[in-house]
Amino acid sequence: MAKTPIQNDIETSVELTHPERIYWPEDQISKQDLLDYYALVWRRMAPFVVNRPLALLRCPDGIDGPRFFQKHAWKGINPHIEEIADPEDKDTAKFLKIRDFDGLAALVQSAALEIHPWGTTTDHWEKPDMIIMDLDPGEDVAWGKVVIAAKEIRERFSILGLNSFVKTSGGKGLHVVASVKPQATWPHIKDAAEAIAHAMSADSPEAYLSVASKAKRTGHIFLDYLRNGRGNTAVAPYSTRARKGAAVSMPVGWEELDGKIGPASVTVGNAASRLGQSSGDPWEDFFKAASPLKI
Ligand code: ATP
Ligand code: MN
Ligand code: MN
């Protein structure tokens, strides 16, 4: 089949049906626009989505229509979205993964408007290569407090010998992601995240919560360590969000947090200008920066 070049020398043999279909009505972003965005970020995004079990938020009629959070295959699934059995549980339905840009194009064709990988690859399912701390600010939390929390988490990861990276969620918060050598298993990874969350909320109970209590959330930041259990997911770096504004979860440099970056300030619409002008990829060394989690 003919390869269709898009941009950045990225091409795909996956044909979009109805490329003009609008997925984000208020922002007038179409299926083709989404594919073009992913071609732009593909080289940076690939290591975070290739060969990882994926959960997908599919919205066939765009963000205002019905939505389905799917971890398993459906009838008529595009063959570039592959199925893979969980090595620990061969009886449950197989998980989904992609191998390359054709896979990502197939996700666009399938109206997967959010991509949520596991924090591991299928080469080493039981040994995650990242620890994710999801900062969920309640009502009435100033953005500066979220930035302070992210930097404190970075500091606490560094005491464990781990380098961490930060991205916008594309929603309300930030995600601080520590890079770990895939050696420790899921329970150790989750324990490390939980210990940091509990220590921070014990030290600063007026600022942080480490239990998921909607009632107490106002004025506090919930340090959501629960993304780190086996089978849990978090939105991928560069994934779009199925929300108004078409924000994306964008890797940023730590120094950028002192500037104008907000949780949803990078969008499908302005990502090209950001990538064009910025001083490189702030997450370029993510995997090179990995250290073992000492247990
Ligand atoms: P925000 O900044 O708004 O908190 P977020 O990505 O951190 O953005 P959510 O969109 O609320 O937070 O999602 C929380 C997590 O729960 C996500 O990381 C996702 O992987 C997972 N999740 C989302 N929807 C579902 C669902 N329907 N079923 C199971 N898990 C889900
Ligand atoms: Mn969150
Ligand atoms: Mn959360």
Give the CATH number of the domain where residue 88 resides. 3.90.920.10
Q: Which residues surround ligand 2, an ion (CB under 5 A)?
A: 134, 136, 173
Give residue 223 CA to ligand 2 midpoint distance, Å: 9
Q: pLDDT tens, 46-88?
A: 999 999 999 999 999 999 999 999 999 999 999 999 999 999 9
Number of domains forming the structure of the chain: 1
Residue 1: predicted pLDDT = 45
- Cα–chain center distance at 154: 18
Q: Label residue 279 by pLDDT band (50, 70, 90).
A: confident
Q: The pTM is what?
A: 0.96
Is residue 36 one of the residues assigned to a domain? yes
Give residue 85 CA to ligand 1 midpoint distance, Å: 23
Is residue 148 one of the residues assigned to a domain? no
Report ipTM (2 d.p.): 0.92
Is residue 192 one of the residues assigned to a domain? no
> Does pLDDT of 4 surpass 80?
no
Is residue 47 one of the residues assigned to a domain? yes
Which domain range does residue 68 map to?
4-124
Give the range among 192-201, 267-276, 281-290 with minimum mean pLDDT.
267-276
Q: Are the C-beta atoms of 191 and 272 separated by less than 8 Å?
A: no
Is residue 19 one of the residues assigned to a domain? yes
Q: How many helices (H) and strands (E) does the chain have?
A: 5, 15
Instruction: Please name the residue whose Cα sits nearest to atom 5 of ligand 1.
Output: 169
Is residue 20 one of the residues assigned to a domain? yes
Greater model confidence, 4 or 233: 233
Is residue 46 one of the residues assigned to a domain? yes
Average pLDDT, the chain: 95
Is residue 278 one of the residues assigned to a domain? no
Alpha-carbon distances, residue 254 vs 78, 92, 155, 167 (angstroms): 38, 40, 12, 9
Closest CA to 147 of 164, 168, 128: 168
Q: Which ligand is nearest to the CA of 226?
A: 3
Rounded average pLDDT over 107-115: 98
> Does pLDDT of 2 surpass 50?
no
DSSP three-state, residue 57: strand
Length of the chain: 295
